[in-house]
């Protein structure tokens, strides 16, 4: 229900871009969209690769060699729950 209302609100604001009231109501949504759609920094990607490799090792899968080499030593040294 909330998703449907959000979708309709976004569509409504898209159809009325020149209405000042609609614009002010849409500003929080646009700010949230800007926050959630930014490109991640290199450090964020490195941490994500390290976390994925760690999760794959815990599942018994072998991490791809190219991904393991791309992650820095700090990201590869994530402590396991078994330690």
pTM above 0.95, yes or no: no
Residue 9 and residue 32 in one domain:
yes
**Which residues form the domain of 7?**
2-36
User: In b/e form, how buried is each residue of 33-68, taking b as 16+ CB within 10 angstroms?
Assistant: eeeeeeeeeeeeebbebbebbbeeeeeeeebeeeeb
Q: Is residue 83 part of a domain?
A: no
CB atoms within 10 A of CB 9: 14
Q: Are residues 47 and 65 in the same domain?
A: yes
Per-residue pLDDT of the chain (83 residues; tens, 9 = 90+): 888 888 898 899 889 989 999 889 888 888 888 888 888 889 999 999 999 989 988 888 776 665 545 555 555 455 554 44
**Do 46 and 71 contact (CB within 8 A), yes or no?**
yes
């Amino acid at each position: 229900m909330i998703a449907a209302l959000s979708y309709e609100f976004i569509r409504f604001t898209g159809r009325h871009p020149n209405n000042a009231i609609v614009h002010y109501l849409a500003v929080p949504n646009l700010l949230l969209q800007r926050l959630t759609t930014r490109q991640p920094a290199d450090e964020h990607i490195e941490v994500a690769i390290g976390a994925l490799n760690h999760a794959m090792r815990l599942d018994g899968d072998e991490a791809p060699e190219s991904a393991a080499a791309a992650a820095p030593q700090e990201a590869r040294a994530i402590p396991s729950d078994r330690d």
